Amino acid sequence: MLATSAIRSALVVAPHADDEALGSGGLMAKLTKAHVSVTVIFVVVDGFHHYGMDRVTTLDERRKEIEDAASILSFEREIIYEGKDLIEKLDTIPRRNLVDIFESKLNYYQPDLLLLPHGSDFDQDHVAVFRAAFAATRPIPQQLGKYFPRKVLTYESPKLTWSEHPFHPMMYWDITKEIDLKLQAVSAYKTQLRSRPHVRSLENIRNLAQLRGSDVGLDFAEAYSVLRWVE
């Protein structure tokens, strides 16, 4: 297990509003409790018709959910595409455009820790965000004018076991003390919650954290894949 003491700032890239809480809500709570500055970049936020709902969610609802989750986990946030009708359409944006956006955000925030969605997913938005953000983190020496993120992880989505390349954990963070905050943050996204056996039920989200904890002899944990870790 690694300490948070060497981390002063963290940047979390979330394709949609709730991905950050599902994948890294426990670690975010751990970081902010240690007085680490945490910012979430939501790539696309909009109203949408989701399976399991008999109506379209509104942009105002989604904004309110983000505010509530941010209050629980104490993170700052910004939105790249808001109200642009781009939910599940990020693959239609040229990757070069997204790479430029992520490079500018990295240069601005200069985070000690960067958290990205895992790249193997059946959700085209997640894949588009990962590929562009991964390109934006390419290791160009910082003296040439581009920020070099030294610690880059990808977080786990509850759905990744059903994937052409299943998620293989490489790093675990103990969230035993933060599991309740993680679940509260997930609960803030009321329009995204579903009943069992859906993967986004609170029971199954808690079960996944318990499973990841059992991987390494803990009560609850979050699992990550490591793209780069430079000390």
37-45 vs 76-82, strand pairing mode: parallel
Per-residue pLDDT of 8-67, as tens digits, reads 999 999 999 999 999 999 999 999 999 999 999 999 999 987 776 778 889 999 999 999
Euclidean distance between CA atoms 22 and 217, whole angstroms: 21
Burial string for 166-196 (b: 16+ CB within 10 Å, else e) reads: ebeeebbbbbeebbebbbbbbbbbebbbeee
Beta partners for residue 174, in sequence order: 221
CA–CA gap between residue 220 and residue 21 (Å, rounded): 15
- Residues 111-126, mean pLDDT to the nearest whole number: 94
pLDDT tens-digit map of 58-107? 999 999 999 999 999 999 999 999 999 999 999 999 999 999 999 999 99
CA 223/CA 153 separation, integer angstroms: 10
Rounded to an integer, what distance in angstroms lies between the CA atom of residue 31 and that of residue 195? 29
CATH number, span 9-229: 3.40.50.10320
Q: How many residues does the chain have?
A: 231
What pTM did the predictor assign? 0.94
